[in-house]
Structure 1
Amino acid sequence: MNADRTRATTDRRLLDSDDARLAAGNTLSDVQQPAYDLPALVAGSLSAAHRTVLDLGCGDGAHLRRLRSERPEAVTIGVDSELGALEDLPPPVLCASAAQLPIKAASVDAVLAVHTLHHLPDIDTALAEVVRVLDPNGILIASTSAEDDRRELDDLWQAAAADVLGTEQGPRRTRPSDHFPLEAGTARLREYFAEVTVQELAGSITVEDPAPVVEHLGSYRVWAAQTGVPFDETVHRARERLDAAIASAGAFTITTRQGIIRAEDPGGGD
């Protein structure tokens, strides 16, 4: 992966700079079937033995607050590299890099990395740190998207971009999870943990009105600028393609596939 592509998949200043992108993404997620309560699934992966929990890359604390509510008996520590994200969160929180955690070795029962690992510029260093701070009986719970998650959206964007550019195929959109997709990420964790299992979260999004999809495509403005794709023209062409697809089939369906990865026995990997 080249430097520009790596930066695009890990730099949260790029990923999170467009509030409309986040809102549009939630619009599509709201109509996904089945609907998965990811914070609840993550909390349910913990047992009573997990008394000290590290929420790595906690951001604004949405998952952290939920976990503290559902597991009040545990000491849950929020960790993020951006101080601003932690300002409104009650302690304990730490402003620290995942590559250098100010935590004693073997002192944590569980580490959570909910859609976090793909943001990190050096995943292997971070995983080595996770293994260091985890108790020998500890667990890492991570989540990420599969390579083919929402592939219909990528296909739509590429086809619309190709029409606008007059090329056979438009550029593929860079996605944050490309840096740590479900399949490759699972294999990577087996280098650090002896036991790794996956709970796959598959579903679909079906729309009869193109508006939610067009709103979601608004999140691609940064990617379009990076790849030289005329943004407004491409979104307009995508809308035309959506109208045609819905008129023909009655709906436009997007398949979704994410997963929760449980990694146990730290330090016992391949």
Structure 2
Amino acid sequence: MTSPFTARRPLRERAYPDPSNLETRRAVYRFRRPPLDLVGEVAARLATAPPGTLLDVGSGSGVHTRALRDRHPDRTVIGLDLSHGMAGHTGPPAVVADAEALPVADGVVAGCLAVHMLYHVPRPRLAVAELARVLTDDGLVVIVAQDGGDRAEVEGLWRDCVHATGGEWRRESPLDLSGMAVLAADHFESVTRHDFPGETVVPDWRPVVAYQESTRALSGLSDAGFDAAMAEFTARVRSEVARTGVFRFTNRVGILTARRPLRS
């Protein structure tokens, strides 16, 4: 069975037809402790790329693409996304394409960015190979993802709510940052990792519920099944906030910097 995390048409048409679901999930992290300027962390690493074009693969709402353009006006920064709706928000130049088949010649890109997207690729090993293929010999790739245990409290509560309402729970994508590091080591001479552990402490039930609602297309549930589980989830989150004043969940996110692609 195709995973809802990687099925191409549902990703384009339901999960990410526009930036709204992605931005809803980003918004909850304003409550993160300690605060994390992920856009700034990514841009700082890509600033060490050699002169040349930068490619944001899976550019999403374009927040990283636009930040790179602002910080590096002397560079061409291209956004690339599977979704026409997402690419349209990135601003030109932008390309609609799949990470498994980048429409880019060999060895011409100085730096590539892949933020929270490799778990949306059916064959992530092929996508990482594509990132390496398009890089110059001294180029670099910056990969961002959650690691195992990220949002464990949210995922555990959602699992319980799905089971409680008679649904079949499907674990989120098994590919995490540690798995991506293994893939990157097969294609790059050097891979370094920087983890940013933290905690999100939300003083209101609404952002947590909005976050979970934004994952509807990724859940693998029918709309009716999702609605039933969401009703239970909402009740439990509201109860937790009423009891303790907050809803807490663990954050485990990190950045891989991969340099010097290995050539066959």
Q: Deviations over 1:122-158 (max 9, x none)?
A: 3222222222221111111111111211110111112
SS at match of 2:74: coil
Measured after TM superposition, the shift of residue 249 of structure 1 is: 4.2
Higher alpha-carbon deviation: 12-21 or 139-148? 12-21
Measured after TM superposition, the shift of residue 229 of structure 1 is: 7.0
Alignment of structure 1 residues 185-224 onto 2, 5 Å? 185-223=180-218
Q: Deviations over 1:37-73 (max 9, x none)?
A: 2221111002262432111122343221110101112
Structure 2 counterpart of 1:257: 252
Distance 1:212 1:80, change over 3 A: closer
Measured after TM superposition, the shift of residue 225 of structure 1 is: 6.0
Q: Which amino acid aligns with 1:149?
A: D
Q: Which amino acid aligns with 2:2?
A: A
Number of aligned pairs?
262
Q: Which amino acid aligns with 2:71?
A: E
SS at match of 2:35: coil
Measure, in 2, the Cα distance between the counterparts of 1:71 and 1:210.
39
Question: CA RMSD of the aligned region, Å?
Answer: 3.0
Measure, in 1, the Cα distance between the counterparts of 2:25 and 2:236.
20
Q: Give the unaligned 5+ runs of structure 1.
A: none
2:5–2:218 CA contact under 8 A, matched in 1:
no
Measure, in 2, the Cα distance between the counterparts of 1:102 and 1:8.
20
Structure 1 counterpart of 2:229: 234
Measured after TM superposition, the shift of residue 98 of structure 1 is: 2.6
Higher alpha-carbon deviation: 236-245 or 191-200? 236-245
SS at match of 1:230: helix
Distance 1:222 1:40, change over 3 A: same
Q: Give the unaligned 5+ runs of structure 2.
A: none
Q: Deviations over 1:175-234 (max 9, x none)?
A: 3xx253111111111111121111112211113432322232322433556268733333
SS at match of 2:148: coil
Larger radius of gyration: 1
Measured after TM superposition, the shift of residue 112 of structure 1 is: 1.0
Measure, in 2, the Cα distance between the counterparts of 1:59 and 1:113.
10
1:149–1:255 CA contact under 8 A, matched in 2:
yes
| TM-score normalised by the chain length of structure 1 | 0.82
Measure, in 2, the Cα distance between the counterparts of 1:23 and 1:102.
27
1:161–1:229 CA contact under 8 A, matched in 2:
no
1:20–1:218 CA contact under 8 A, matched in 2:
no
SS at match of 1:255: strand
Percent of paired sites with the same residue: 30
SS at match of 1:152: helix
Measure, in 2, the Cα distance between the counterparts of 1:18 and 1:91.
16
SS at match of 2:214: helix
SS at match of 2:230: helix
Distance 1:19 1:263, change over 3 A: closer
Matched, 1:3 2:14: no
Alignment of structure 1 residues 41-52 onto 2, 5 Å? 41-46=41-46, 47=48, 49-52=50-53
Of the three residues 175, 179, 187, the one matched with 1:184 is: 179
Matched, 1:145 2:146: yes
Distance 1:13 1:199, change over 3 A: farther
1:25–1:216 CA contact under 8 A, matched in 2:
yes
1:43–1:71 CA contact under 8 A, matched in 2:
no
2:16–2:86 CA contact under 8 A, matched in 1:
no
Q: Which amino acid aligns with 2:42?
A: V
Measure, in 1, the Cα distance between the counterparts of 2:177 and 2:41.
17
